[in-house]
Amino acid sequence: MFRVTVLTIFPDLFPGALGFGLSGKGLGSIWDLHIINIRDFAKDKHKKVDDTPYGGGAGMVMRPDVVHDALTHALGLYHPHIPTILFMSPRGQVFSQNMAVSLMGNNSGPLVTNSSKSVLMEGETARRTAVYLSVYEDSSTESTQQKADYKELRERSSDGMIILCGRYEGIDQRVIDIWKTEHGMLEVSIGDFVLFGGELPAMIVIDACIRQITGIMNNPDSTKIESFSVDLLEYPQYTKPSTWRGESVPEVLLSGNHGEIERWRLEQSEEITKELRPDLWGRYRSNPDG
Ligand code: SAH
């Protein structure tokens, strides 16, 4: 079972949305959610997890000693396995479908994607991030060392995931640096905006990741052909009634001709992607065979 551990000062927020629908149905059988209250690791009788920032300024900062002890405890629960550790942060690598697929490694189905490269980190690249995100790249260019790393990390990612959620103005930089260096912790953002806390971002990441677990969907094909799988947005979907407010569903979908239907869907996907996401379209065009 794929185990996700979340570190938060608001444990009651979980499982939240993850407790509903297919993610909720798989909870406890296909995947498992363990919540750790960071406050339990506070040192004083007031259970204080934050303090004022050195150098002044607005807001509070989460203490490194408290966060470190919570992380150490969480990691210990996986021993001897080594989970992926994520820190939700607006400064992180922006989350994507490719990242979800790569992070899930062995747990996900054989999704074929041609764009892992585009999400590689730049700058102070966490080497491990690059390795995770390279899992689905063309293996012909890998060195022996890289191949060994991929194997190690694919196995690692099967061991589950720990997600650290910040609050207030964020977390003391020292504990972030130590966990990045010593444990390959990855900073992950869900987009260029700032929220009050990492809990909603964590739920989004968990949702997208566990969606990749083989067996969680009623129809496993649905993760393979939806938006972003091959840098194309999904084609339009229709259901009953066949005519509604004078609008009929496209004729071809009623034809029963699967070849035609596939062709029509691909055309639609291409049209929609070209119009709505020229960036994805460019990527797709540069490698249309995936
Ligand atoms: N002062 C910080 C923001 C802190 S917001 C800054 O300017 O960068 C408090 C917490 O919310 C963060 O530590 C992080 O865990 C979470 N958070 C906020 N926005 C986020 C985003 N876009 N993606 C992921 N996590 C986010």
In this predicted structure, the answer to whether residue 122 has a pLDDT above a threshold of 80 is no
Is residue 216 domain-shared with residue 281, that is, in the same domain? no
Query: 201 and 263 share a domain?
Result: no
Structure tokens at 105: 């490694």
Residue 290, both tokens: 């995936």
pLDDT digits (tens, 9 = 90+) for 58-114: 999 999 999 999 999 999 999 999 999 999 999 999 999 989 988 987 776 433 333
**Same domain, yes or no, for 202 and 121?**
yes
Q: How far is the CA of 246 from the centre of ligand 1 (A)?
A: 47
Ligand 1: which atom is nearest the Cα of residue 190?
23
Report the atom number in ligand 1 closest to the C-alpha of 191.
22
We report the CATH number of the domain holding residue 236 as 1.10.1270.20
- Same domain flag for 104 and 21: yes
CA 41-44-45 angle, to 5 degrees, is 105
pLDDT at 206 over 90: yes
Measured in whole angstroms, how far is the alpha carbon of residue 18 from the centre of its chain? 14
Number of domains the chain is built from: 2
Atom of ligand 1 nearest to the CA of 193: 22
CA of 164 to the centre of ligand 1 (A): 11
Shared domain check, 267 and 180: no
Q: Are residues 127 and 260 in the same domain?
A: no
Q: What is the percent of the chain with per-residue pLDDT over 70, rounded to a whole number?
A: 79
What CATH number corresponds to the domain at position 55? 3.40.1280.10
The residue whose CA has the least distance to atom 20 of ligand 1 is 90
The residue from 186, 205, 226 where one domain ends is 226
* Nearest Cα to Cα of residue 290 among 148, 82, 116: 116
State what percent of residues in the chain have pLDDT above 90.
70
How close is the Cα of 28 to the center of ligand 1, in Å? 29
Q: Provide the domain limits for residue 246.
A: 231-290
Query: Is there a single domain that holds both residue 152 and residue 247?
Result: no
Supply the pLDDT for residue 227: 72
- The average confidence (pLDDT) of the chain is 84
Q: Kindly state whether residues 179 and 248 are assigned to the same domain.
A: no
Cα(184)–Cα(171) distance, rounded to whole angstroms? 17
